[in-house]
């Protein structure tokens, strides 16, 4: 099967590398010829580096590169069995593109969007055959991240979903099914990791370094929330939060923080700009954490229970299955444990008690406990009983 990739940015190029490594002939298309040339150059550099490190041999590197063709026109997709769009997150542009793709590709070609936040149903509605459209959401960098979210629109045909899932799994990826709701699984469930850390900072409970220390040293997360926001980019992370907030009709659980908005407005985007929550300039002195274990545990459990509550809500509203939610968070954002399994370990009743304590303290709907957690605590149930 020939695979078409629309968009030659880091995500599009990464997906192309994955598909070619799996043995497919891949066509990467972009209207920007300079971007195409850069993508071709970068892919060759990445493959050569992998060969130098001994991850692959020279012959494999050459064959992977040789199966990827960089073209400046969409009609080249005329013989593709799957086309994945990985362009700007703009609904009007995506709808226009899918309308064109449908006219170019064979009737049985699957048309997929790599959107991380836009409604797949709205994109599919641009096509006369919306049943062949779905979301296939990779995580950056696509060659390294195992997780892929498969998001059927309400119009998507069941056979298309099954074909897409089987194909992605044949690329040595872990595919999870998610309902077409804002943020899908990962970008929805992960919001409290950033949002509650920012709230704790804004309340003056602890500084950036201490919150990061609590989550990494006591919680076992690979990166603290502020280190991760600086890594992602405060502009990108803020935009995702704002998009999810708006899409959920301004539910206070997803409310963005002014602190991050101001950093983005100031151009303090994180690592890519040299300054964010931390200063990345050579010789810069960043604050040391206050290694107070009592304070650290308070921070850790407050953020953790908010994450667990969000995962429980996702299960309650059938966004994804129990296993897929936990798989998404461990393989999509490298959490040390699945959140629902973690809930069992610390106790469902304890989670409810912590959520109720936060709600009583703040009297904000942000801290409402999931009905699923409350019912499970009442009945003495566990997620993995």
**Among all residues, which ones are annotated catalytic?**
116, 137, 149, 187
Query: What DSSP string runs through 232-247?
Result: H-HHHHHHHHHHHHHH
Q: What's the burial of 247, exposed, middle or buried (CB within 10 Å: 0-12/13-18/19+)?
A: middle
Cβ proximity of 177 and 320 under 8 Å: yes
Q: Which residues face 176 on adjacent strands?
A: 149
For residue 138 the two structure tokens come to: 């990779």
Segment holding 3, helix H or strand E = strand 2-6
CA 35 to chain centre: 24
What is the full DSSP assignment across 257-275?
-HHHHHHHHHT--BTTTTB
Strand ranges in 107-195 using DSSP code E only, listed in sequence order: 110-113, 133-138, 147-152, 174-177
Q: Give every CB contact of residue 122 below 8 A, 6+ residues apart in sequence.
A: 91, 95
What residues form DSSP beta bridges with 111?
Answer: 83, 133
* 17, 143 Cβ separation under 8 angstroms: yes
Nearest-CA neighbor of 238 among 210, 220, 259, 213? 259
Backbone angles phi, psi at 190, to 5 degrees: -80, -10
Pick the closest to residue 20 from 72, 70, 73 (CA basis): 70
Q: Which two tokens stand for residue 151?
A: 């998001």
- C-alpha 83: how far from chain center: 20
Tokens of 358: 């936060």
């Amino acid at each position: 099967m020939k695979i078409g990739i629309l968009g030659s940015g880091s995500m599009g190029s990464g997906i192309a590398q994955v598909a070619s490594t799996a043995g497919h002939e891949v066509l990467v298309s972009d209207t920007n010829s300079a971007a195409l040339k850069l993508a071709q150059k970068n892919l060759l550099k990445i493959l050569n580096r992998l060969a130098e490190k001994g991850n692959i041999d020279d012959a494999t590197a050459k064959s992977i590169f040789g199966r990827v063709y960089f073209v400046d026109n969409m009609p080249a997709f005329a013989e593709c069995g799957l086309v994945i769009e990985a362009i700007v997150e703009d609904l009007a542009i995506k709808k226009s593109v899918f309308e064109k793709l449908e006219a170019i590709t064979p009737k049985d070609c699957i048309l997929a969007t790599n959107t991380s936040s836009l409604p797949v149903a709205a994109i599919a509605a641009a096509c006369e055959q919306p049943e062949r459209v779905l979301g296939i959401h990779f995580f950056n960098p696509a060659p390294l991240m195992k997780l892929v979210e498969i998001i059927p629109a309400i119009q998507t045909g069941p056979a298309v979903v099954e074909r897409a899932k089987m194909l992605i799994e044949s690329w040595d990826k872990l595919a999870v099914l998610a309902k077409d709701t804002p943020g899908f699984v990962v970008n929805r469930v992960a919001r409290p990791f950033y949002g509650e850390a920012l709230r704790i900072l804004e309340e003056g409970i602890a500084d950036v370094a201490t919150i990061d220390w609590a989550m990494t040293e006591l919680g076992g997360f690979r990166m603290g929330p502020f280190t991760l926001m600086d890594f992602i980019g405060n502009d990108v992370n803020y935009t995702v939060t704002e998009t999810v907030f708006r899409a959920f009709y301004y539910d206070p659980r997803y409310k963005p923080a002014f602190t991050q908005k101001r950093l983005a407005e100031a151009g303090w985007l994180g690592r890519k700009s040299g300054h964010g929550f931390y200063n990345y300039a050579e010789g810069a002195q960043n604050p040391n954490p206050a290694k107070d274990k009592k304070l650290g545990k308070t921070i850790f459990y407050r953020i953790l229970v908010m994450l667990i509550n969000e995962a429980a809500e996702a299960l309650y509203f059938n966004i994804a299955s129990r296993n897929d939610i936990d798989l998404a968070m461990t393989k999509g954002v490298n959490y040390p444990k699945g959140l629902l399994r973690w809930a069992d370990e610390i106790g469902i009743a304890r989670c409810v008690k912590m959520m109720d304590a936060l709600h009583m303290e703040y009297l904000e709907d942000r801290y409402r406990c999931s009905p699923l957690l409350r019912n499970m605590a009442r009945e003495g149930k566990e997620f993995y009983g």
